[in-house]
């Protein structure tokens, strides 16, 4: 199986071109290749497949083999790969990708060597209705609702960007032990499909710093959909404006929650690390 290792701000995945390759059991393959000691090492596996409704289709599997609807950092890498490997039918500098969130449109920043450096993704409108996040609480939206974590009451704001997020604001980000609380929040009884957990320190009206526990993968250096959800949560709680810089452990993203169309736009880099061949004997 030929593969390409790519990352968006350190949020790394193994990418397989399914125009050429076949992956019979992607859930099992995701677990094997994601192992950072015995595999390639990644936050998961992303398949780049043919689509009847877009340039390409993206299917993603977390490091634990669970399938996810969407990945903001992953989709930027899919766009880079699709453009640079001539898989697109659209005219640059834009293309479309079919995801579990629907068909998303992406704008490409292409350098003089015809390589993609940055990608702007229209992530669609945020979903706030509790049953669609999903979170087992009542109301039109979940904004600073109480949740008990390790005998401590915390306030969360819940947003879906095609996948579920719980956002917690704090003035002391360094005091958060994300490895301890992340797993508990992900598997809390309030979240029937589990959830991504983010802790955010707002630095100004246009700037915040965040750390992430990603559903099915654990601590990650970046989460694109999470950064979008944190922007939405910051606006809903009147902590920030709609256009912000999100500082993640792996780097920065530009996020805008547009008032014109209610869509969230995310801009950031995509980086190819290496290519290789995964031996057939290793798949079992």
Bin 71: left if φ > 0, else alpha if -120 < ψ < 50, else beta. beta
Catalytic residues: 71, 223
Q: Please give the Cα distance from 283 to 155 (Å, whole number).
A: 43
- What's the chain look like in SS3? CEEEEEEECCEEEEEEECCCCCCCCHHHHHHHHHCCCCCCCCCEEEEEECCCCCCEEEEEEECCCCEECCCHHHHHHHHHHHHHCCCCCCCCCEEEEEECCEEEEEEEEECCCCCEEEEEEECCCCECCHHHCCCCCCCCCCCCEEEEECCEEEEEEEEECCCEEEEEECCCHHHCCHHHHHHHHHCCCCCCCCCEEEEEEEEECCEEEEEEEECCCEEECCCHHHHHHHHHHHHHCCCCCCEEEEEECCEEEEEEECCCCCCEEEEEECEEEEEEECCHHHHC
Question: Is there a cis peptide before residue 189, judged by omega within 30 degrees of 0?
Answer: no
Unique residue bearing structure tokens 């929650």: 257
């Amino acid at each position: 199986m030929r593969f390409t290792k790519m990352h968006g701000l350190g949020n790394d995945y193994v990418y397989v071109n399914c125009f050429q390759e076949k992956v019979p059991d992607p859930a099992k393959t995701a677990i094997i290749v994601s192992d950072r000691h015995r595999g390639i090492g990644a936050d998961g596996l992303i398949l780049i497949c043919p689509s009847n409704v877009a340039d390409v289709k993206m299917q993603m599997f977390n490091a634990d083999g669970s399938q996810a609807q969407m990945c903001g950092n992953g989709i930027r890498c899919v766009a880079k790969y699709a453009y640079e490997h001539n898989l697109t039918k659209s005219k640059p500098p834009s293309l479309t990708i079919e995801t579990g969130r629907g068909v998303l449109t992406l704008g490409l920043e292409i350098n003089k060597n015809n390589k993609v450096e940055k990608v702007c993704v229209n992530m669609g409108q945020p979903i706030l209705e509790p049953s669609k996040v999903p979170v087992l609480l009542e109301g039109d939206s979940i904004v600073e609702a109480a949740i008990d974590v390790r005998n401590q009451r915390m306030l969360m704001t819940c947003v879906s960007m095609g996948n579920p997020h719980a956002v917690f604001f704090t003035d002391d980000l360094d005091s958060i032990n994300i490895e301890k609380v992340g797993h508990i929040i992900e598997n809390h009884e309030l979240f029937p499909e589990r959830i991504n957990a983010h802790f955010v320190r707002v630095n100004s009206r246009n700037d915040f710093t965040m750390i992430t526990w990603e559903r099915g993968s654990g601590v990650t250096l970046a989460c694109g959909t999470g950064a979008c959800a944190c922007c939405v949560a910051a606006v809903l709680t009147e902590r920030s404006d709609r256009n912000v810089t999100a500082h993640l452990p792996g780097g920065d993203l530009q996020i805008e929650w547009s008032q014109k169309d209610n869509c969230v736009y995310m801009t950031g880099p995509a980086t190819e690390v290496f290519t290789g061949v995964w031996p057939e004997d290793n798949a079992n």
